[in-house]
Structure 1
Amino acid sequence: MFQTLYSYFWWERLWLPANLTWADLEDRDGRVYAKASDLYITLPLAFLFLVVRHLFETYVATPLAGLLNVKEKVRLKATPNAVLEKFYAATSKHPKQADVEMLSKKSGCTVRQVERWFRRRRNQDRPSLLKKFREASWRFTFYLIAFIAGMAVIVDKPWFYDLREVWKGYPIQVSMDPIPAFPDHQDLQWQLEVQWGSLGGGWDAGSARDRMAFPGRIMHCTMFYPLELYPAFFGYYFFNFMMVVLQSLHIFWAYLIIRMAQKFITGKVVEDERSDREETDNSEEEEEVAKNGPLSNGHPVLNNNHRKTD
């Protein structure tokens, strides 16, 4: 059964144009073509990027946050409570009113204390301002370097200026300028150039210019130019469908950014529309302070003015 599924998955009519077979992509005459096993390199690369990201966030982004006066907001922590913690972890982070009343009886807390506990517990799980800053710094740096590297790789290639060149001889392309260290690996050179170009020049979702170029140039290239050379096949429809999905995400992200810009221009409070909003219970804290005096982590603090009772 597994062999049957394997055969169907790699059926040539799914992934290759008509009149081409996998035999046409076998290594020969000094040419080395891409193989599925080449994807194994992504595993150690992924681990390497995790290490580099950790070092960057620790030794670059964190000191930069200090220089830019990015401060952590002090959050009140939820007091340890085994009953509430078990419900939070196993059942729901947003208990219904009936659940709140049930938990109030089981934990010995008031309904208001249970509601406050869940608000604070949810806030503890939300990423802090410093964490968001470090993540944004890493993404900005990574995509900037990827964009520059991609441009450097393909800027002197003919398909950078004429996208029809991408499809000439597809999928058996030969690079015009092979890598000096690999003189017999022309096809490998071409694939590296296209992959780096796609990563840096075409897929950088953080660039407004690329978002405009994506539907006008890249999607036009993938949808219309291939049909000038061969009939459409499953791979053509599948990958273009994925491109449409990506473009839909671009439109959605642009909508969120425009909403945020509109709020900024109109003087409203600006929040990242994609982020969870932190819940506050300031009004309740003020009530507690008015009734019982200052709070320490949600509990009243006794002062020198309280009366001693027998």
Structure 2
Amino acid sequence: MSALAAWFWNERFWLPQNVTWADLADSESGEQYPRAGHILSAFPIALGIFAVRLLFERFIAKPCALQMGIQDFGPRRAQPNAILEKVFMSITKCPDGKRLEGLSKQLDWDARKIQRWFRHRRNQDKPSTLTKFCESMWRFTFYLYIFSYGVRFLWSTPWFWDTRQCWYNYPYQPLTSGVYYYYITELAFYWSLMFSQFTDIKRKDFLIMFIHHLATVGLMSFSYVNNMVRVGTLVMCLHDASDFLLEAAKLTNYAKYQRLCDAFFMFFAMVFVTTRLVIYPLWILNTTLLESWELIGPYPSWWLFNGLLLVLQVLHVIWSYLIIRIAYKAIMRGKVGTGKYHPLPVLKDDRSDVESSSEDEDAALNGTKAIHNMSSNGANRVNGHAASGQWVEE
């Protein structure tokens, strides 16, 4: 184990030349630097955040939803049938034509009636609008809080105004209480998301989002351990800028305030594209690639860190294209969130919505799902984001 630890914590990978872990030990003057052990404190905080969320949803979000007229009832339940239930649980939830024909003969039911039973049975396991509203309200509240805190904190830091300050005297940059709180709170929140995935609304992209949250935690932990926390705070704040807007759009969509929903989504799209395609490359990548090369030079973990940030930029381009395409289609149709063929699957969220109950609605659902599947990205945001639906979390 000691040999494995020595290999993993190799100073020549993590730190610049002529810098050792001993150099970053707490100094006699009381200065403290980031340590890997600090990350462990995120676990109890994550459990605390999860507990706060449960209380928030029950005593704040749910009363708000009921006050807005959102009812706590799910979709229509399928009538009990032992044979169909067995097929549903052990064979398939979406029987093909051949199986429908066999079940029709066995039960003496019309094939259309069996299709309807399976649709109702699938919907039966899906959450109510109230449940989704409470989940989105919690995320909206946290994202708004952490973004506000990030802006307020960074406003008084020198590296917010001059990114070269991220690299002066690196890695001998003392850890301040503000940076520690910011990092550990964000880290704990994403750990709490990983925990809550097992109790939240079950969606098709469960595994994808779990891997995304794990990657987010990994990137944040990596930047903390090698003391790239200054530029890390800039990355986190930049990605937080659009999250709460998307959750606001979802909230207003659930409450059926459609014009407000449209406005929030369009504002979200503008902020997302501006932060990810303009500010991120000109502000973040410029300092991590060019200014850091000039001031500290490259070393192994520097290459890895910048490689991950460049991959993130590629994802930004893909996500922005998908958002722009959806917004464009919405504008061309003269509406953002209404209509039979819904142009905004991100707000309808096909991973959990109730399926249609007529042939026309089935066609609409299939059309929406086709757009949605084309929009899947497999990762939400590196600090999270990219935030809702299968293609955008933070």
TM-score by length of 2: 0.59
Contact 2:231 2:284 in 1 (8 A): no
1:247 equivalent to 2:319? Answer no
Contact 2:146 2:240 in 1 (8 A): no
CA apart distance, 1:149: 0.8
Q: C-alpha separation between the residues in 1 aligned to 2:138 and 2:159?
A: 30
Aligned counterpart, 2:358:
282
CA apart distance, 1:159: 0.7
CA apart distance, 1:4: 4.4
Q: C-alpha separation between the residues in 2 aligned to 1:89 and 1:170?
A: 57
Q: C-alpha separation between the residues in 1 aligned to 2:228 and 2:16?
A: 18
- Seen in structure 2, the aligned counterparts of structure 1 residues 272 and 101 have a Cα distance that, compared at 3 Å, is same
Contact 2:159 2:230 in 1 (8 A): no
CA apart distance, 1:228: 0.8
Contact 2:167 2:296 in 1 (8 A): no
Contact 1:27 1:33 in 2 (8 A): yes
CA apart distance, 1:193: 7.0
- Seen in structure 2, the aligned counterparts of structure 1 residues 218 and 195 have a Cα distance that, compared at 3 Å, is closer
Aligned counterpart, 1:235:
301
- Seen in structure 2, the aligned counterparts of structure 1 residues 225 and 95 have a Cα distance that, compared at 3 Å, is farther
- Seen in structure 2, the aligned counterparts of structure 1 residues 92 and 21 have a Cα distance that, compared at 3 Å, is farther
For structure 1, which segment, 200-209 or 137-146, has the greater mean C-alpha deviation from structure 2 after superposition? 200-209
- Seen in structure 2, the aligned counterparts of structure 1 residues 201 and 113 have a Cα distance that, compared at 3 Å, is same
Q: C-alpha separation between the residues in 1 aligned to 2:104 and 2:6?
A: 59
Contact 2:326 2:344 in 1 (8 A): yes
Aligned counterpart, 2:387:
none
- Aligned AA for 1:267? G
Q: Which runs of 5+ in 1 are unaligned?
A: 180-186, 285-310
CA apart distance, 1:84: 3.2
Contact 1:18 1:230 in 2 (8 A): no
1:200 equivalent to 2:267? Answer no
- Seen in structure 2, the aligned counterparts of structure 1 residues 72 and 258 have a Cα distance that, compared at 3 Å, is farther
- Seen in structure 2, the aligned counterparts of structure 1 residues 74 and 174 have a Cα distance that, compared at 3 Å, is closer
- Give the secondary-structure state (helix, strand or coil) at the position aligned to 2:345: coil
CA apart distance, 1:108: 6.6
- Aligned AA for 1:18? Q
| Deviation digits for residues 234-261 of structure 1 (CA, Å, limit 9, x no counterpart) | 3222222322333344334433433443
CA apart distance, 1:162: 0.2
- Aligned AA for 2:168? K
- Aligned AA for 1:226? S
1:273 equivalent to 2:345? Answer yes
Contact 2:93 2:118 in 1 (8 A): yes
- Aligned AA for 1:282? S
Q: C-alpha separation between the residues in 1 aligned to 2:356 and 2:298?
A: 55
Contact 1:72 1:130 in 2 (8 A): yes
Q: C-alpha separation between the residues in 1 aligned to 2:174 and 2:59?
A: 43
Q: C-alpha separation between the residues in 2 aligned to 1:36 and 1:24?
A: 15
- Seen in structure 2, the aligned counterparts of structure 1 residues 97 and 178 have a Cα distance that, compared at 3 Å, is closer
Q: C-alpha separation between the residues in 2 aligned to 1:46 and 1:225?
A: 35
Decide which of 319, 325, 328 is 1:262's aligned counterpart. Answer: 328
- Give the secondary-structure state (helix, strand or coil) at the position aligned to 1:224: helix
- Seen in structure 2, the aligned counterparts of structure 1 residues 18 and 193 have a Cα distance that, compared at 3 Å, is closer
- Aligned AA for 2:39? L
- Seen in structure 2, the aligned counterparts of structure 1 residues 44 and 196 have a Cα distance that, compared at 3 Å, is farther
- Aligned AA for 2:135? E
For structure 1, which segment, 146-155 or 122-131, has the greater mean C-alpha deviation from structure 2 after superposition? 122-131
- Aligned AA for 2:236? L
1:221 equivalent to 2:297? Answer no
- Aligned AA for 1:213? I
- Seen in structure 2, the aligned counterparts of structure 1 residues 106 and 42 have a Cα distance that, compared at 3 Å, is farther
CA apart distance, 1:119: 1.3
Percent sequence identity is: 37
Q: C-alpha separation between the residues in 2 aligned to 1:191 and 1:153?
A: 17
> Would you tell me which structure has more helix in proportion to its own residues?
2
CA apart distance, 1:171: 1.6
Q: Which runs of 5+ in 2 are unaligned?
A: 179-223, 244-267, 361-394
TM-score by length of 1: 0.73
Q: C-alpha separation between the residues in 1 aligned to 2:303 and 2:228?
A: 21
- Aligned AA for 2:16? P
Aligned counterparts, 1:70-149, within 5 A: 70-71=70-71, 75-104=75-104, 109-149=109-149
For structure 1, which segment, 130-139 or 265-274, has the greater mean C-alpha deviation from structure 2 after superposition? 265-274
| Deviation digits for residues 72-123 of structure 1 (CA, Å, limit 9, x no counterpart) | 6862212233443344344433333334345556667553333222211222
Decide which of 187, 205, 210 is 2:275's aligned counterpart. Answer: 210
- Give the secondary-structure state (helix, strand or coil) at the position aligned to 2:118: helix
- Seen in structure 2, the aligned counterparts of structure 1 residues 194 and 258 have a Cα distance that, compared at 3 Å, is closer
Aligned counterpart, 1:171:
171
- Give the secondary-structure state (helix, strand or coil) at the position aligned to 1:93: coil
